[in-house]
Every structure is written in structure tokens, then in C-alpha cells.
Structure 1
Amino acid sequence: MKTGHPATYDEVKKIHPLYFNIVKKRYWWFVISLIVVIPGIISLFMQGLNLGIDFKGGTMLDITFNKQVSQAAITDTMKSVGLEGPVQLSNGGTSALIRTEALEEAKRNELLGALQSKVGEYNKASLKEDKVGPAMGQELTRNAFWALLIAMGLMIGYITIRFQFSFAISGIIALLHDVLVVVGLFSLFQWEVDSTFVAAILTVFGYSINDTVIIFDRIRENESKLKRADSYEDMVDKSVWQTMRRSINTVITVLIALFSIFILGGESTRLFSLAMLIGVFSGAYSSIFIASQILLEIKIRTKKSRKGGKAVRAS
């Protein structure tokens, strides 16, 4: 591929040994997305999300032990008294932040007694206890909702100015696809949702639109060189494949890092990294297989409406 000169469609096909026509199979990509998204939406309506104490309220205990302890030991001890929740270690494994359901005094004392006998002695003078009310969870949910709306509004404005409104609509639909995939799977499998989940969703938003804009930029560049007899479909397919190596290399690098965090990061970061893994994979998929294909459909249907409903080749 010569620098400064865009490759022809035939050259793009030869460069990629695994080449196949993505655009002509676009309805298959839409079906695959629906197969993943629809069960998640149904699950959201039927069983909702498994909200953690950040949303529904609960008790947080900050305990400093006299020795290094493990998350597994604390988690097993909590289960022995009928409790569960995330445990975050710090200070070399001597301090633990435990989050669980709202505890009455008797249940709290039972848990502390079990920790002392099964995990190790702790410093009673430094013990901190905080109760989180559901009002905080409602405020967090409201702020997250507004953050997503503001982010979408700014992205629509930015992409419309830089490209066209049709590009903006395609990009936002792809972003909503990624959010529905992550939220739907968390609802379907009832994985716990906490404040880090909101951070993961917002991060996926930024990652996904960045990859999509790269592909859109190449489509815009190639679109300006189209001749009347050229196929818009072939141009979009060519643009996607011209950015394919960059997209694959980026997503593999990010997924390796996230998978390492998921395996080695411990219980406190597992659900965050899981949401990020799903979101980044979905974001890469939607950037390649969904956003550009939706843009193509919009362009084709716009052309049809301008030609009085007659089927024409987009150009």
C-alpha cells in the first residue's frame, strides 16, 4: 500500500488473506446482535439488575487486621454466617473493606466474631463502619443516566460537525448496542452491579466511538473519491478492511490487559474488568460490523426516498 495513495479495492482484498465481504453479509451481523441483545432486554424487564449496595444500600466495614489476610478467607467467613459481598484488600493485605447488606447489631457482631476466630485478630480501635442508604444509589443512578445522555448529545454534535448527521446516528446506534449488550448480559446472568459498573459503561462509550470514528474517517475519505459508476457498498467494505489491522491490533491489546486484570486483579476488580471485557469486545464488533453497515443502510434508503422510492445503487 503506497503512502499517500489509497489502495484499490482489489489491492485491499489481496492484502488481507482472510478477506470476506463484510457489507454483503450485513444482515447476518444485525441478526447476531439481535440474538445477544433481545434476551438481555427481556431479562431487564423480567428480573432487572442485581444491584449492589452502592445502589440499594448496605453496610461497609473497614477492618485492619494484625496480619496479612486473603480475600478468599474473608469471603468464606462471610458465607459461613450467611452473608456475601465484595471484599477489597489494601495496605499489603492487612486492611479489608467489606461491603454487604444492611446489618443489624447482632448480625454485625456475629460477622466480626467469625472474622476474628477464622481470619485473624483485628484492631478494634481502628474499625470503621458506614451505612449506605438507598438514596445514594438513586442519586448515582440518576447521575449515570445524565452522564450517558450528555455524552451521547456531545458525540452527536461532534460527529455531525466532523462528518454528517447520518454518521452521528449510526455511531450512536452502535453505542447503544454496546450498552445493551453489557447491561443485558449482566441482567441475564445476574452479575452484581456496583458503582464501578457505571465507570465501565462510560469507558466503553469512549472506546467504542473512538474506533468507530476511525472507520468513519476512512469512509469519508474514500467517499469523496467515488465516481458515479462506483458502488457505495464496495467503498464501505474497502474502508472497513483498510482499518481492519488497526482495529484488531487495538482490541487484542486492550483485551489482553483486561483479561489479566480479570484473572489476577482479585475479587474487587473482577466485575469491573468483566464489564470492560464484554464492552470492549462488543465495541470492536459494533465498530466493524454494525456502525458502518447502519450508515450504509441510511445512505441507501435516503437515496431511494430521493428517487421516488425506486431502488438505486448508493453512490
Structure 2
Amino acid sequence: MLQVLNVKGTVNFLRHALPISIFSAVLVLGSIASLATKGINWGLDFTGGTVVELEFSKPADLNAIRSDLVTEAVGGAVVQNFGSSRDVLIRLPVKDDFKSEDQVNDVMAAVTQLDSAVIQKRVEFVGPQVGKELAEQGGLAVLVALICILIYVSFRFEWRLALGSVAALAHDIIVTLGVFSVLQLEFDLTVLAGLLTVVGYSLNDTIVVFDRIRENFLKLRKSLPEEVVNISITQTMSRTIITTGTTLVVVVALFLKGGTMIHGFATALLMGIFVGTFSSIYVASFLAIKLGINREHMMPVEIEKEGADQDALMP
């Protein structure tokens, strides 16, 4: 049991740390199970396919275009606005029985019936091998980011805090990927960018808490580690609420009004903000306590001055 905290108004956050940590572990295990069984619904950026950009003479009816693209060659096409309401981007999946040129011809035949003045602005083909390389490089980018963060936090703070921060970041990424796997949401390059943004956002929140923990360990000499962590989280909570609230306003606006192009990006950010906020408290800080963090670990290393031993021997 924790002793009575010696700072007025401190909230005992760690009182609920164990059940929430168990809940987080269940989320991570469930996400891993879904990723292993259902996998990820990779977008055309990773699986390959043909991209057709069209310009209509009037605002395009996306639902009408989708209903016309029901042939065997272009089934499963992704139709979305690209810039203005007259510009449309159509992503066609790879079909083994159909060439890319045949797919483009079917698309043009369908859209010409809706608008005879439609203009084909560009056609690009992304091979499956290129998509595979993008997936590998994206995963490598996330892994390198976690390793660099581990090294940075280890130098700036202490290795126990570093492990806590990396565990929290891995928790955020795995849970976010798990949501995309369970719901089978399309995972494209914008979602990957959202994941990297979540890493930076969650790390920033964790670093603010850790910085206050280090300061309070040096000031509150007689307090237990749990007390110091509770005090530090309480002192930074107003900043966390303001930062999270203002960020959510922007992300919700992107999610509701941003359009199909950045819908996946906004979804990844929404999930990352929610899981990243509580992981900074109940994963990073709680794990550091379980690893035995204390005041001695936060003390700066004393550097012996040159010639100090000779001065001590002088009468």
C-alpha cells in the first residue's frame, strides 16, 4: 500500500495501474492474434496496381462511378476525389487474368458514359515487387525509430525509463495495427505516416512525464518512487489534457471532413492519441517502477576533478 502523498492535490494514478496494465496486455495479445490470423488489409501502395487520374468537366459522382466499375477486370477499384470535386483518382488492383491496359480501357469506357468530356490526366502502374519493398521499408522505418528512441532516452534519462518508453511506443503501434486488422481497414502509405506520427506524439508525452519524474526524484528525497510518479503525472496532467484536447479537435475534423484520401491517416492518429495518452502513464511509468527506478538512478554522475587527490593530501 502507498503511503499518504506529501503533496496536496496529488491523484493516485498508480492505484489503477495493475488492472489497466493487464487490460493493455490483453489488447496487445489480441492485436497480435488478429495480425497473425486475419493479417492486414494492404492497400495498393503495398500490393501493387494501376492508378488512373481523371478530370471531369463537372463535379464527379463517386457513387455512380463505383457502381459502373463492376466488371471482372476492374472489380475492387478504389474511387476517391483527388484535390477538387472534378478530379478523381481510381486505384485498380492487380488482376492476373487482365493486363493493366485492359483495366484502364474498361475504366475509360465506364466513365465516358457518365461524362463524355472526361480527361485522362495520368496512368501509373505499381508492381507487386515495389509494393513489397515499400512494406519492408515501412516496417524498418518504425523499427529504426524505436531503436533510436531507446538510445536517446537511455542517454537523457536512464535505461529503466528508456525501456518503459519503448514498451509504451510498441504498445501503441501494436494496438493501432490490431484495430486495422480486426476491422480490416485499408492500410496504405498514409496510415504508415500516421503510425510514425503516433510514435512522435506518444514519445513527446512520455518525455514530458519523465522529465518531471527526474526533477521530483531530486526534490522529494523522502518520497517513495510510486509517490514521485503520482506527483509528476498529476503536475503534467493539465498539459496532457490541453495537448490531447487540441490535437483531437484537428484530428476529428480530418476524420469527418478530410475525405477518403486521408481517412486512414486520421483513423491511425485517433487510435494513437487514445492509446498513447494512457500508455504514457500506465505502461511507461508503471514499467519503470517495476524495473526498480529510484532516486539514486536519477542522481547526476559526479566527475572527479583533476588533481583532487593531491589536494586532499595537502596539510
TM-score band (shorter)?
0.7 to 0.9
Q: Which residue of 2 aligns with 1:271?
A: 264
Query: 1:50 matched to which residue of 2?
Result: 41
- 1:64 deviates by 1.4
More deviation, 268-277/74-83: 74-83
2:203 aligned with 1:212: no
Instruction: Return closer, same or farther for 1:114/1:233 CA change in 2, 3 Å cut-off.
Output: same
Deviates more, 1:167-176 or 1:136-145: 136-145
Equivalent residue for 2:22?
A: 31
Q: Deviations over 1:19-62 (max 9, x none)?
A: 4x211221111122123222211011112111111111111111
Distance between the aligned counterparts of 1:195 and 1:91, measured in 2? 18
Q: Is the 8 A contact 2:28 2:175 kept in 1?
A: yes
Structure 2 gap segments, 5+ residues each: 297-315
Gaps of at least 5 residues in structure 1 are 1-7, 14-18, 304-315
- Paired residue for 1:157? 151
Q: Is the 8 A contact 1:40 1:181 kept in 2?
A: yes
**How far apart, CA to CA, are the structure 1 residues paired with 2:198 and 2:116?**
41
Structure with max Cα Rg: 2
Distance 1:258 1:76, change over 3 A: farther
Residue of structure 1 equivalent to 2:274:
281
State the 4+ residue runs in structure 1 displaced beyond 6 angstroms: none
- Equivalents in 2 of 1:122, 1:35: separation in Å? 55
State the 1:208 CA deviation: 0.4
Q: Give the structure-1-normalised TM-score.
A: 0.84
Q: 1:70 to 1:298 in 2, by over 3 A?
A: farther
**Cα separation, partners in 2 of 1:143 and 1:256, compared to 1, 3 Å:** same
Comparing 137-146 and 184-193, the one that deviates more: 137-146
SS at match of 1:61: strand
Match of 1:308 in 2: none
Q: What residue number does 1:4 align with?
A: none
| TM-score normalised over the length of structure 2 | 0.84
Task: Report matched runs for 1:58-73 at 5 Å.
Answer: 58-73=49-64
SS state at 1:140 partner: helix
* d(CA) in 2 for partners of 1:212, 1:166: 13
| Cα distance between partner residues in 2 of 1:54 and 1:220 | 43
Query: What is the distance in 2 between the residues matched to 1:47 and 1:37?
Result: 15
1:222-237 → structure 2 map (5 Å cutoff): 222-228=216-222, 230-237=223-230
Change (3 A) 1:169 1:123: same
Q: How many residues of Structure 1 are paired with residues of Structure 2 in the alignment?
A: 287
User: Letter of the aligned partner of 1:29 in structure 2?
Assistant: I
CA distance in 2, matches of 1:179, 1:72: 33
Contact 2:53 2:88 in 1 (8 A): yes
